[in-house]
Amino acid sequence: MTVELLQKNAMVVGLGESGLAVVRFLIERGARVRVNDQRDREALGVAASEAEALGAELVLGGHPDSAFEHLDLIVVSPGVPPLAQLDRAEDRGVPVVSEVELAARFIEAPIVAITGTNGKSTVTTLIGEMSRCLGRPVFVGGNLGRPMIEAAGTDAGGAAGLVIVELSSFQLERVSQMKAHVAVLLNITPDHLDRYPSFDAYAAAKARIFERQDADDFAVLPADAPDLRELIDHDGSVVLFGGRIGDVRVMDGVLTDTRSSLRVPVEELKIRGSHNVSNACAAVLAARLLGVRDDDIAAVLREFKGLAHRTQFVRSVDGVEYIDDSKATNVGAAVASIDGLTGSKGKIVLIAGGVDKGGSYQPIRQRMSKEGRAVVVLGEAASLLRRAFADSPVEIRHANSMNDAVTHAAALARPGDTVLLAPACSSFDMFRSYAERGEQFQRAVETLGELR
């Protein structure tokens, strides 16, 4: 499955974290590497210097046709949009692959791959923690932290190891030989419609996670989304989680594996929200398929506190809880976050906005009309959100900064309410990342008495 790289002419398109990792991997194996990126040297910063120090040729500031000539391999980073130059290279017979596809060709270990619009990072981390109880080398990464290519050549990437990776639709676009022993699809809701021509095209990219699976592999799907089963085009084992018929589901308030002795009361979990309980069900099912013991799975479930900026409790002030779900960067994630808080004694004051991703905000309006007290909007999508909530029963406020948003939300909330940061948008208009956005929210909450 591996490919010969010695003395091959390879190009890496896109010099982000995974792109730089690919440059290092290729050069260590004797390839001659050219790096191409739309950004210039100043914008790339230290990444350009590091690639050059490794011995790569840099072609920056555009995608000249000449840079794509005389190549044996092109590796495309996940953030790179479709390019005519890549299409023409493929027409000439040049392999064009993703970082994930290249990594898979050098990994002997079973691969556990997790995708979905929402919940990927939580489920990937949970499966990773559970799998470490097997006593074998484990790599956890992909879209979550470390690029998958870093598993190649390690003990975890060898036959005795286990590779557990979160994969985005972008990363799955150019896979062809990657085979996941356990492939988990959590959900699909509209997202990245600024990149894909339709929801079906986005779903098709996600479905590539099941390619090349056979009868010895497992496709893990939500029981309450039968339409997702139509995305699988193989005869392998399909196992379900959640809902009323999933192998692992909640029964009378207890997270239950119906095919084992695992029983964990939901109230003993430290993660918040019904969507996170569903995530836990998916992780439990995947871990059991990998052979993790019930006792070890239960111990991890009881100890796992969740990930930063994913339905993370920040503080309670004057009887109002503040929740940071800055990672809710699309409408589906924001809806899941709201739904996860449904049933609390008070109402929700939502902070939302950022860079619009092309979806409809009506699902948020529907939820907030029932569960919400107010919405504080900010960022580039503020006007779109205001229009979406026109004539709704919830109050709308506009904020110019995160401190301003928290101050407005605190003034609107009443004891028993929850102030929820679930932006439904990407962060790049006002922040470097969703993490920075969440950190600013948390700082504003921690100093709330000074802001009011």
Burial class (CB in 10 A: 0-12, 13-18, 19+), 450: exposed
Show the DSSP H helices in 221-344 as ranges: 274-289, 294-303, 331-341
| Sheet strands (E) in 90-236 | 96-98, 111-115, 138-142, 162-166, 182-185, 218-222
Antiparallel, parallel or unpaired: β 312-317 and 320-324: antiparallel
Q: Is the pLDDT of residue 443 over 60?
A: yes
- Active-site residues, by number, are 120, 143, 192
Q: Is the pLDDT of residue 221 over 70?
A: yes
Q: Quote the DSSP letter at residue 426.
A: B
Residue among 286, 244, 5, 12 at smallest CA distance from 124: 286
- Region of 153 (left: φ > 0; alpha: ψ -120 to 50; beta: rest) is left
Task: Over range 363-371, report the average pLDDT.
Answer: 94
Q: Is the pLDDT of residue 450 over 60?
A: no
- CATH 3.40.50.300, applies to 312-451: no
Task: Over range 51-67, report the average pLDDT.
Answer: 97
pLDDT of 199 = 87
Alpha-carbon distance of 278 to 348, in angstroms, equals 21
Residue listed under structure tokens 């990444």: 47
- Edge-to-edge order in the sheet of strand 111-115: 138-142, 162-166, 111-115, 182-185, 218-222, 237-241, 248-251, 254-257, 263-265
- CATH 3.40.1190.10, applies to 101-303: yes
Identify the CATH homologous superfamily for domain 9-94: NAD(P)-binding Rossmann-like Domain (3.40.50.720)
Please count the other Cβ atoms lying within 10 Å of the Cβ belonging to residue 375: 28
When the pLDDT of each residue in the chain is averaged and rounded to a whole number, the result is: 93
pLDDT of 343 = 67
Which pLDDT band holds residue 34 (cuts at 50, 70, 90)? Answer: very high
Q: Tell me how many helices (H) and strands (E) the chain has.
A: 16, 20
Which pLDDT band holds residue 68 (cuts at 50, 70, 90)? Answer: very high
Which pLDDT band holds residue 451 (cuts at 50, 70, 90)? Answer: very low
Residue 354 contacts residue 429 (beta carbons within 8 Å): yes
Alpha-carbon distance of 315 to 13, in angstroms, equals 43
Distances (CA, A) of 243 to 114, 190, 225: 19, 21, 9
Q: Is the pLDDT of residue 452 over 60?
A: no
Alpha-carbon distance of 417 to 436, in angstroms, equals 25
- Region of 181 (left: φ > 0; alpha: ψ -120 to 50; beta: rest) is alpha
Which pLDDT band holds residue 30 (cuts at 50, 70, 90)? Answer: very high
Torsion of CA 346, 352, 358, 361, to 10 degrees: 30
Residue 278 contacts residue 222 (beta carbons within 8 Å): yes
Domain ranges for the chain, please list them. Answer: 9-94, 101-303, 312-451
Alpha-carbon distance of 397 to 237, in angstroms, equals 50
What distance lies between CA 91 and its chain's CA centroid?
32
pLDDT of 342 = 75
Structure token digits, residue 208: 């590539």
pLDDT in tens, 135-155: 999 999 999 889 999 999 999
pLDDT of 248 = 98
Q: Is the pLDDT of residue 91 over 70?
A: yes
pLDDT of 1 = 55
pTM above 0.75? yes
Enumerate residues 6+ apart whose C-beta is below 8 A from 58.
Answer: 34, 35, 41, 48, 51, 52
Name the residue type at position 43. A
H or E element that contains 421: strand 418-421
Antiparallel, parallel or unpaired: β 418-421 and 320-324: parallel
Alpha-carbon distance of 97 to 79, in angstroms, equals 13
